[in-house]
Structure 1
Amino acid sequence: MNPSSQDRPEIAPPLPTGPRGLYLVTPDEADTARLLARVEPLLGEGVAWLQYRNKGADAALRREQAGALQALCQRAGLPLLVNDDVALAEAVGAAGAHLGEDDGDIAAARARLGPNAILGASCYDSLELARRAVAAGAGYVAFGAFFPTATKATPRRAAPELLRQAASLGVPRVAIGGITPDNAGPLVAAGADLVAVIGGVFDAPDPVAAVRAYNRCFL
């Protein structure tokens, strides 16, 4: 006799999947060999995504460094994104790009990189900017700064509630700006899928231990 539907165990729906954890952003580093030596040991420690960012490099150095990092990321099996440069992301075969408010059109970037690229947008403290970015083709949105940071001037400050509100957009939410393992918890609780970090890892006495500390915030 077949069991009735009431006797069958209820099967839970699958949990949503997506990127979660540390979104590591490279420091400004003029020496490519040193940059690779600083990054490579971290990639096997649970980094979700790596972003290449070097505001002090010229075009030739950026091309050299992005290409070398792409090779590292391919071996490690994780995505490389390029900050503010869709053409460079395309040239090195990166997984995608991240654009600030004044760094290019999201729709044009999506058309250029294709439907499968990871394309993110800085949305600062604005849910409306995030809505427009997603409508234009962004695959994730980044908010911040949440805390003071020495990386760049951050006149706009975001509140954790913005992460909760952005859940309705249906894309991963990234928290940026002065995030440490000690203050990341409330952002993760508010809905941050990833925390983007530069100095919190690369300026730490033990960068590997720092990566692990960030990842514990997601447990």
Structure 2
Amino acid sequence: MNNATQRPAHPAWLDGLYAVTPDTSDSAWLLPRVAAVLAGGASLVQYRNKSRDATLRREQATAIQALCRRHGAGFIINDDVGLAAEVGADGVHLGQSDTSICTARRRLGPYAIIGATCHDQPSLALQAVDNGANYVAFGALFPSRSKPEVVSAPPSLFASLPPLAVPCVAIGGITAANAALAWRTGVDMLAVIGGLFDAQTPDEAARAILAARR
């Protein structure tokens, strides 16, 4: 039995700043930045790495999870349900072409956090919630350097969303400079990659993004 099946998600994990790690094999670069982002107030961290090096991914995931535990933050893994079960992560984030929510739920248990990418389509969010997702994510809110090819989910989209009954996340191109506009969409969480990890001082960037929430 993995750790995610033994405890419910802390509600505070699904509110505030949601850090998504960049895809890198350089653990010496990555881990101090994760620690800084957590010190700056991130409540949830998603480990994202598409490397085929299973050992690297397991080592990085284990190290990041330890940092999250130290700071009282939640820890989830992008796409890889097997790795999430292996390290006892708090859950997974799934794209539209990844493992199904129902399959992930069966593997990880009733208390796992399962998030779903919904692009710019409210219908996908409603379906994800029906299938048991704990949160839904829309993006890209702004042009994204991390994923320049993704579809746009402009601020106007959020004003027209139906009631979803789970926390809502905006992702894509979010930085300290535009965080206030992002928060004004009314979302529960801002998911940030480059705006945190490319910042000269990731902890200060995290604090600034949270401070922009009014």
Normalising by structure 2, we get a TM-score of 0.88
Q: Which residue of 1 aligns with 2:201?
A: 206
Q: Does 1:113 align with 2:108?
A: yes
User: CA shift at 1:145, angstroms?
Assistant: 0.5
Q: Does 1:94 align with 2:89?
A: yes
Q: Which residue of 2 aligns with 1:196?
A: 191
User: CA shift at 1:72, angstroms?
Assistant: 1.4
Q: Which residue of 2 aligns with 1:58?
A: 53
Task: Give the aligned residue type for 1:25.
Answer: V
Q: Which residue of 1 aligns with 2:99?
A: 104
User: CA shift at 1:155, angstroms?
Assistant: 3.8
Specify whether residues 214 and 45 from structure 1 end up closer, same or farther in structure 2 by C-alpha distance, changes over 3 A only: same
Q: Which residue of 2 aligns with 1:122?
A: 117
User: CA shift at 1:87, angstroms?
Assistant: 1.0
Q: Which residue of 2 aligns with 1:8?
A: none
Instruction: Pick which of 110-119 and 29-38 moved more.
Output: 29-38
Cα distance in structure 1, aligned partners of 2:36 and 2:52 = 23
Task: Give the aligned residue type for 2:86.
Answer: A
Q: Which residue of 2 aligns with 1:159?
A: 154
- Which structure's CA Rg is the greater one? 1
Q: Secondary structure at the match of 1:65?
A: helix
User: CA shift at 1:114, angstroms?
Assistant: 1.2
Q: Is the Cα–Cα contact under 8 Å of residues 137 and 169 in structure 2 kept in the other structure?
A: yes
Q: Secondary structure at the match of 1:182?
A: coil
Task: Give the aligned residue type for 2:185.
Answer: A
Q: Which residue of 2 aligns with 1:40?
A: 35
Cα distance in structure 1, aligned partners of 2:155 and 2:192 = 17
Task: Give the aligned residue type for 1:110.
Answer: R
Q: Is the Cα–Cα contact under 8 Å of residues 167 and 191 in structure 1 kept in the other structure?
A: no
Q: Secondary structure at the match of 2:118?
A: strand
Normalising by structure 1, we get a TM-score of 0.86
Per-residue CA deviation, residues 2-48 of structure 1 (Å, 9 max, x unaligned), is: xxxxxxxxxxxxxx977322101112221323322221122122111
Mark the runs of 5 or more structure 1 residues left unpaired by the alignment: 1-15
Cα distance in structure 1, aligned partners of 2:51 and 2:119 = 22
Q: Which residue of 1 aligns with 2:137?
A: 142
Cα distance in structure 2, aligned partners of 1:186 and 1:200 = 14
The two structures, once aligned, show a CA RMSD in angstroms of 1.8
Q: Which residue of 1 aligns with 2:26?
A: 31
Cα distance in structure 2, aligned partners of 1:215 and 1:115 = 30
Share of identical aligned residues, percent? 52
Give structure 1 regions of 4+ aligned residues with deviation exceeding 6 angstroms: none
Q: Is the Cα–Cα contact under 8 Å of residues 174 and 182 in structure 2 kept in the other structure?
A: no
Higher normalized contact order (CA 8 Å, seq sep 6+, divided by chain length): 2
Cα distance in structure 1, aligned partners of 2:52 and 2:29 = 14
Cα distance in structure 2, aligned partners of 1:22 and 1:28 = 19
Q: Secondary structure at the match of 1:191?
A: coil
Cα distance in structure 1, aligned partners of 2:160 and 2:78 = 25
Q: Secondary structure at the match of 2:117?
A: strand
Specify whether residues 35 and 57 from structure 1 end up closer, same or farther in structure 2 by C-alpha distance, changes over 3 A only: farther
Cα distance in structure 2, aligned partners of 1:72 and 1:165 = 37
Task: Give the aligned residue type for 1:23.
Answer: Y
Per-residue CA deviation, residues 166-191 of structure 1 (Å, 9 max, x unaligned), is: 46011111101111222222332222
Q: Could you tell me which of 64, 67, 78 is aligned with 2:73? A: 78
Cα distance in structure 2, aligned partners of 1:164 and 1:204 = 30
Instruction: Pick which of 203-212 and 17-26 moved more.
Output: 17-26
